[in-house]
Amino acid sequence: MPSYTAPVDDMLFLFEKLRDNKNYNELEKYNEVNLDLVKDILEEAAKINQNLILPLALAGDENPAKLENGVVRTPPGYKEAYNKYIEDGWISLSCDPKYGGQGMPKTVSAFFDEMLSATSLSFKLYSELTIGAYNCISHHASDEMKDKYLPKMVEGKWSGTMCLTEPVCGTDLGMLKTKAVEQPDGTFKISGQKIFITSGDHDLTENIIHLVIARAADSPPGTKGISLFLVPKFILNEDGSVGPRNGVSTGSVEHKMGIKGSATCVLNFDDAVGYMIGVKNKGLSQMFTMMNLERILVGIQGLGISEIAYQNSLAYAKERKQGKTNNTKSTNGADFIIEHADIRRSLLNMKSIIEGERALCFWLSQQTEVSLNHPDEKVKKEASDYVSLMTPVVKSLFTDLAMEIINDAMQIHGGYGYTKDQGIEQLYRDNRITPIYEGTNSVQAADLVFRKLSNKNGNIISKFLELIKTECDSKNEKVKIFSKELNYYLDILSKFTDWINDKSKEEKDDVSAAANDYLKTLGFVSLAYTWIKVLEVSYNDYDKNKDFYDDKINTAKFYFEKVLPRAEYHYKSAISGSSNIMNFKFN
């Protein structure tokens, strides 16, 4: 089983030194969320993840969730861990105190999400979808519905799901077949089948609140006719207690490559009682409140799994002897593999990407809070645009790079990495879903280039590039060296953006073929931007903590020298166009 130590020091560094968003710091509701409080939260979070949740990863892999006599059973130890988890209030960390939550900002909860992803992604998914459903209900439901369902969800006694995918449709939700028939009392009878439903059924909570998209009888075809419904596993009694079983049943549990402890279900809705959330035919936009949050969280899943893969690779490289280096230090015929240049390159590649991702995620968390809570509507819209722009980047880049990092981790472990003993192969299998679910990474890339670069508020990408240039115009001579390098890649990204905009008018296949390359170029440049912010602090505060800041400076150097140049490769590859791709004749 892999070992794990939560990177609390790095998280606290970000919270203390990179909490530099002026608009975020104007949010009065978080005035009392100071460094000492966050330190206490993260240290306790580290303990529960390292001691209680980490062992669940292997337990869930060896004893997958299973369907027995119509009931889904979670792996051994899950119930006990879940009870402790909700007893300590972890599920309520970022929820509104009005419903029993602790009201922590995403600048804190994102760190906890990373720890959970690293220790046991399967276990995490049982509560992650609950928080997603909570957010959707809290944004779009009536006050009566919020008061009825949210307190128990925040407490963790009830869980939540997101029911979109059907056998006939995945990404193209306009094709859905699930029907909603209105009843005289204003409720709806929901009938249809949903597949690949994460945490669709289990034995951890006394009720499960399904958020289901369906089409009412009088609604138009396509995505314009989709409505959103709350469909509980058990209907509530008048006093709010759990009542009779609703018309929801589990058809099967998927047998998966990874995240085996998570119950991925086929759900059948047979005249199930449902309650419409918000306005009829606006269900897809309402569900996107949940989906967009989930996409960022999936990126964080990739980050967390990358971190545990890196930690175990570093530890293994320090203890495994194999071969001699050019400047051998061995007196008995072999050196530790960490002395080999290629191993060191792999480890630094992991480290520079992971720490850059964590910093970018922290930047995005601040923007998210501003987009939700700032009193100035103009400021909120601008932050919302940045969140919209970066959501597909975080989801796709972090998960794609996680596959690369875990692959390198397996290579560092050699034959042992391919066996179950070290746990690396499980990390590979568990992470493999992250580039697929919540919209495949290619869909995310298409969404970015066709929808996110500009909107009714203007040219978002240009605003973002200008923001980077302004914030990276350092007065520190040592940082200027890196800023100059970043400017070179900003020019490439600007040219790439112009090329995308031009091709969008005349040859959309070129844009489709280039979408993944564009997303990665934007992603690598964005990571460089956050590394500049880290460097600014590192050089200015160097004497306060030389060892810590030396580590940051040298890791940043590696990123700029060895990783950032990949942005230019993606640009050059993309602008070759799509003619050969589209004209190629497959036999």
Last residue of a domain, one of 143, 167, 196: 143
Helices (H), 414-476: 415-418, 424-431, 441-447, 460-471
Q: Last residue of a domain, which of 253, 286, 319?
A: 286
Active site residues: 438
Residues 164 and 120 in one domain: no
Q: Does some domain include residue 213?
A: yes
The residue segments making up the domain with residue 89 are 8-143
DSSP 200: -
Please say if the pLDDT value at position 292 is more than 90: no
CB 71 within 8 A of CB 203: yes
Here the CATH number for the domain that contains residue 132 is 1.10.540.10
Answer yes or no: do 460 and 579 share one domain: yes
pLDDT tens, position by position, 432-491: 999 999 889 999 999 999 999 988 778 999 999 999 999 999 899 999 999 999 999 999
In a domain? residue 306: no
Please indicate, yes or no, whether residues 133 and 163 belong to a single structural domain of this protein. Answer: no
The structure's pTM equals 0.96
Is residue 210 located within the same domain as residue 89? no
Please report how the helices 377-413 and 460-471 are oriented relative to each other, as an axis angle in degrees rounded to 10.
80
Tokens of 248: 């929801």
Closest CA to 277 of 287, 291, 292: 287
Q: Could you tell me which residues come within 8 angstroms of residue 134 by beta carbon, excluding any fewer than 6 positions away?
A: 95, 150, 153, 154, 160
Within a domain: 99: yes
| For residue 283, pLDDT beyond 80 | yes
Residue 479 lies in a domain: yes
Which CATH number does the domain housing residue 268 bear?
2.40.110.20
- In angstroms, the CA 351 to CA 397 distance is 15
Q: What is the pLDDT of residue 173?
A: 80
In this structure, is residue 442 part of a structural domain?
Answer: no
What's the pLDDT at 452?
93
My answer on whether 587 and 460 are in the same domain is yes
Here the tokens at position 10 are 């790095």
On whether residue 419 sits in a domain, the answer given is no
Are 131 and 188 part of one and the same domain? no
Secondary structure of residue 311 in the 3-state scheme? helix
pLDDT digits (tens, 9 = 90+) for 112-159: 999 999 999 999 999 999 999 999 999 999 999 999 999 999 999 999
Segment 494-502 mean pLDDT = 96
Express each pLDDT in 59-104 by its tens digit.
Answer: 999 999 999 988 999 999 999 999 999 999 999 999 999 999 999 9
Q: What pLDDT does residue 330 have?
A: 67
Residues 25 and 138 occupy one common structural domain? yes
Residue 317 has pLDDT above 70, yes or no: yes
Residues 582 and 557 in one domain: yes
Q: CA-CA distance, 7 to 20, in Å (whole number)?
A: 21
* Domains: count for the chain: 3
Query: Domain ends where: 114, 143, 172?
Result: 143
- Which pLDDT score, from 0 to 100, does residue 293 have? 85
Residues 455 and 576 in one domain: yes
Q: Please check whether residues 97 and 190 belong to one and the same domain.
A: no
**Distance of alpha carbon 404 from its chain centroid, rounded?**
17
Task: Flag whether pLDDT at 288 surpasses 90.
Answer: no
Strand partners, 236: 242
pLDDT band at 331 (very low <50, low <70, confident <90, very high): low
Average pLDDT rounded to a whole number, residues 218-225: 90
Q: What are 306's two structure tokens? A: 């990358």
Are both 266 and 228 inside the same structural domain?
A: yes
- 530-566 per-position pLDDT tens digit: 999 999 999 999 999 999 999 999 999 999 999 999 9
Residues 161 and 107 in one domain: no
> Which among 149, 247, 261, 251 is positioned nearest to 206, based on CA atoms?
149
Q: Which amino acid is at 439?
A: G
Q: Is residue 583 part of a domain?
A: yes
Which strand (E) or helix (H) includes residue 496?
Answer: helix 477-506
